[in-house]
Amino acid sequence: MSIEQTETGINDATQGTRILLIEDDPDTQELIRALCEGRGDSVDTAADGFLGLRLLSERRHEIVLIDYHLPEMDGYALARLMRELGRPEGRLRLVGVTADRHGLASRRGADTLFDAILVKPLDPQTLFVTLDRLTQPEAMAEPAHPADELWRRRGLSARPRAILCPPPSASEAEAVAQAFSLAGPSTEASVVLVSDESGLEGLRGLRAEGANGLLPAFDLTGRLGASCDGVFQVGNPESWTALAQTVAAFGQRGAALAPGTRSASDARTRLAALMFVADRELRLSAGDEATALAYETGHSKTSLMAAVLQLMEAGTVTCQPVAGGVSARLTQAGRDTLTMGDREPEPSRRASRPNEAVPHPLDRPIETLSSAAAAMSLNVRRLEELNGLVGSQRIDVLLARLSKTLDTAFEGASDRQAIAGQAHTLISSAGNLGFDDLAHTCRALQEAIMAGRDETPYLRAARRAASDAKTHCTQGLALLMPVQ
């Protein structure tokens, strides 16, 4: 839909929301526009902030989706300018869109500047829920607790229900209750708060067993962040935003797990499930580095190594050497197993002996997985969802564009910033289409470069994933979709 076509569209209850999308990557721009138009919204697009400002001044948009990494003027500066030039007749809703999970949230004031922040690759349902929330009339009633409104601005319905480790004293509970709703270790919660070093034992117990083992953990001390999923400081607005985003992300990925995975009691499945919901690689260190704080998984060093080896033998994780040890991450086959569970076998393959042991789902080798995605590093569920939302013709166009991008991806690249730029683009354009393995390796590559680490093993993994994705992009949607 062109700008001229969208200009005449007058929004009402049946015509959706007037959206301005400012995104410089043409593939991401095309997909987001298709998703929004498919649900009845009208969309204007701009590839840079200056054109976005002009369109905003000419049309009455309700929501602006702003990519963080824009040429000439970044998304944060653009959002500030839009707020300063805001129309008096109504509040404009601004949504930050970024592949940098920490960069935008860490900018001072980002939590109040943006009404929501979405992380690439975009999940269509998360996008739709965000758009629906931002177009709802604001409630007139006062929140039940002063902190509830702060959390609502960050996308949560109210104060997160938190388990405090170790159990708090009365004064500690009163202090924490200013920002959280306290929950017991055996009750439903959405986050674990670690208030001192002894609390790591409590976190280890939760991760080892029980229904709350897949919750994100946040450090309240500022010293234990390496063992947790983040650090929370009540006086730092950015940490409120980071916690809200992490809670939401854990919840979304947790909901994608197969029921049997969520309720599993064996240590290795719980470890794999934690790696999935936390979207995290695990670093296993040796020598002196092994004594430093490490991410809490519920395992001792010995049992963690044993569990990782078992998962690696089953094809659920893969390990890469890094300085001082190895880094373990889930394979696409492992993610498929965790989310699809142990599908019932074909009638001709059913066990004929009643007492025959059923193999553990994570013991299945890659080649026996029923999903065609196992061998293609492709999230078929994402592809099926997009096919239903935007149609096969649009997906084939995007696959062809991605294939062309991959022709030269990382070839002869020596400049670290250029490599990081290519990785940044592929996180979105490949991840949006379900190439999770390529998006994951590109994110790891970008983060390694930004952290000043040796990018060689990450670049090697990204090149391998890009080659795999290129092979399957050329097949087109018809061959990538599973046979029904």
**Same structural domain, 154 and 88:** no
**Domain boundary pick from 213, 232, 256:** 256
Would 141 be classed as within a structural domain? no
Length of the chain: 484
Per-residue model confidence (pLDDT) at position 473: 87
Distances (CA, A) of 458 to 413, 440, 444: 13, 10, 7
**Same structural domain, 205 and 302:** no
What is the C-alpha separation between 118 and 389, in angstroms, rounded? 19
User: Which amino acid, 387?
Assistant: N
Would 87 be classed as within a structural domain? yes
**Same structural domain, 413 and 331:** no
Q: Which two tokens stand for residue 150?
A: 């702060």
Q: Is 293 exposed, middle or buried (0-12, 13-18, 19+ CB in 10 A)?
A: middle
Per-residue model confidence (pLDDT) at position 412: 74
**Same structural domain, 388 and 470:** yes
Would 248 be classed as within a structural domain? yes
Q: Are 125 and 150 in contact (CB under 8 A)?
A: no
**Same structural domain, 44 and 123:** yes
Q: Are 217 and 191 in contact (CB under 8 A)?
A: yes
Q: How does pLDDT run along the chain (484 residues), one tens digit per residue?
A: 333 333 333 334 346 899 999 999 999 999 999 999 999 999 999 999 999 999 998 888 999 999 988 888 888 889 988 888 765 556 789 999 988 755 555 555 566 678 888 888 888 988 998 899 898 875 444 446 788 888 988 888 788 999 999 999 999 999 999 999 998 766 678 999 999 999 999 999 999 987 788 999 999 999 999 999 999 999 999 999 999 999 988 987 887 787 778 878 889 999 999 999 999 999 887 654 445 678 999 998 889 999 999 999 999 999 988 877 889 999 988 887 887 654 433 333 333 343 444 444 444 443 333 333 334 468 888 888 898 999 989 998 999 999 999 999 998 767 888 999 999 999 999 999 989 889 888 888 888 888 888 888 889 889 999 999 998 888 766 665 554 4
**Same structural domain, 130 and 33:** yes
**Same structural domain, 25 and 131:** yes
Would 425 be classed as within a structural domain? yes
Q: Are 240 and 150 in contact (CB under 8 A)?
A: yes
Would 236 be classed as within a structural domain? yes
**Same structural domain, 104 and 86:** yes
Q: Which CATH number does the domain housing residue 437 bear?
A: 1.20.120
- Three-class DSSP category at 465: helix
**Same structural domain, 399 and 427:** yes
Q: Are 97 and 140 in contact (CB under 8 A)?
A: no
User: Which amino acid, 280?
Assistant: R
**Same structural domain, 250 and 271:** no
Please name the residue that has the structure tokens 């890469």.
320
> Distance between the two ends of the chain, CA-based, in angstroms?
33
Q: Is 22 exposed, middle or buried (0-12, 13-18, 19+ CB in 10 A)?
A: buried
Would 218 be classed as within a structural domain? yes
Rounded (10°) angle between helices 416-431 and 436-450? 150
**Domain boundary pick from 84, 103, 135:** 135
> Could you tell me the residue range of the domain that residue 469 belongs to?
380-475
**Same structural domain, 96 and 152:** no
**Domain boundary pick from 135, 170, 196:** 135
Would 57 be classed as within a structural domain? yes
Is this model's pTM higher than 0.75 or not? no
Would 9 be classed as within a structural domain? no
Q: Which CATH number does the domain housing residue 323 bear?
A: 1.10.10.10
Domains in the chain, number: 4
Please name the residue that has the structure tokens 């049992």.
303
Q: Which CATH number does the domain housing residue 60 bear?
A: 3.40.50.2300
Per-residue model confidence (pLDDT) at position 375: 40
**Same structural domain, 98 and 25:** yes
